A = this chain, B = another copy of it.
Amino acid sequence: MAEIKVVHCGLGGIGLGIARIVAATEGLKIVGASDIAPDKAGQDLGTVMGLPKKLRVKVEPENRRLLKGARPDVAVLSTASSLKDVKPQVLELVAKGVNVVTTCEELSFPVPGHEKAAREIDAAARKKKARVLATGVNPGYAMDALALVLTAPCVKVERVAVTRVVDAGTRRVTLQRKVGAGLNLHQFRRAMTEGSVRHVGLPESAHMIAAALGWKIDKLEEMVEPAIAPRDLDTDYLRVAAGNVAGVKQTVRAWCGERLAISLDLHVYVGAENPRDQIVIDATPPVNMTIAGGLAGDEAAAALVVNAIPRLLSAPPGLVTMRDLPLLHAYNPAEARAIRKR
């Protein structure tokens, strides 16, 4: 059986995590990789991944070079959160008929303002019979697709409320920095203005839920506020002094008419208590679900991307979302084999 040929575009923390899983997965074969970072381009991918052996895959400085030889079946694109940055990369890949699974949060579901770009990607993908999916733990699963699955045993759904609490102190330093841990309030506000502390994806999750349930969002509010350290907090990487910023509390509220229909709360800060994923469906019957400890973000995101590959390759061409795919579960090598046989 031939394997599904995968190229990895973007070898940051998540990109490398995905590549490590792909390298260990039956039925998938890494045939190329790219990253613009000068300390990665030109190296062997095995070296960049920290493996004891070389993979005989040279990291290219740009995606264009990945498409010169044998056509890959799927590109894992993990370069940026912004649709503006990622769109030309996706278009370049689908123009060559390559399927794309990306962690680009803004491509996970078309929200107002991104619909034109989404349509453009959809049309380009259909034209070349390629498929494009953006997924990850959030957006893509913990605060949208999983919430939708939990409405399956319900009628008369009035409200979907999701709370994700992550103790940033247990996570990698880049995440701690990303949520502003250790900054004072002045620095945090400046970082907010620059957009560097905001998690991207809550409106995408809200719109995915609303679209699936046939709800029209009339008003959507997004807020970001700092979580303040009640005492000095130390992580393996940094100290948060009492009164400084430990991380962020981010919320989305979406109304359908007068009804508060969707409520998303994402708390990511050092020292967050009772870390969890909680989903409450206000319906008949009601559902109150908690994942104790919460889904481990980076590991879960990387697994979701890999597990989605067989589903993506079986989907109709175009831009697909987690809402459209058949029941997604852990990787089954037999499903990958069945795809290659077609």
Residues of A within 8 A of B (CB): 21, 24-25, 137, 141-142, 145-146, 148-149, 151-155, 157, 212-214, 283-285, 287-293, 295-296, 299-304, 306-307, 322-335
The CB with the most chain B CB atoms within 10 A, among A25, A291, A296, A330, is that of: A330
CA distance A25 to B154 in the complex (A): 13
Each complex incorporates copies of this chain amounting to 2
> Which of B137, B153, B304, B322 has a CB less than 8 Å from the CB of A327?
B322
* Chain B hits for A285, CB < 8 A: 295-296, 299-300, 303
Q: Which 9 A-B pairs have the closest CB atoms?
A: A153-B300, A214-B332, A285-B296, A151-B330, A148-B329, A152-B328, A285-B299, A288-B292, A214-B334
> Which of B289, B299, B323, B325 has a CB less than 8 Å from the CB of A284?
B299
> Which of B152, B295, B326 has a CB less than 8 Å from the CB of A324?
B326
Contact A155 B327 (CB under 8 A): no
* Chain B hits for A137, CB < 8 A: 153
Nearest-neighbour CB distance to chain B for A313, whole angstroms, equals: 15
* Chain B hits for A151, CB < 8 A: 307, 329-330
Decide if the interface of chain A is mainly helix, strand, loop or mixed: mixed
CA distance A300 to B323 in the complex (A): 21
Asked, given contacts A213-B332, A214-B333, A327-B326, whether A152 binds B157 with beta carbons under 8 Å apart, the answer is: no
Asked, given contacts A141-B153, A332-B214, whether A148 binds B287 with beta carbons under 8 Å apart, the answer is: no
Closest residue on chain B to residue A296 by CB atoms: B285
* Chain B hits for A327, CB < 8 A: 145, 148-149, 212, 322-328
* Chain B hits for A324, CB < 8 A: 326-327
> Which of B149, B155, B291, B302 has a CB less than 8 Å from the CB of A287?
B291
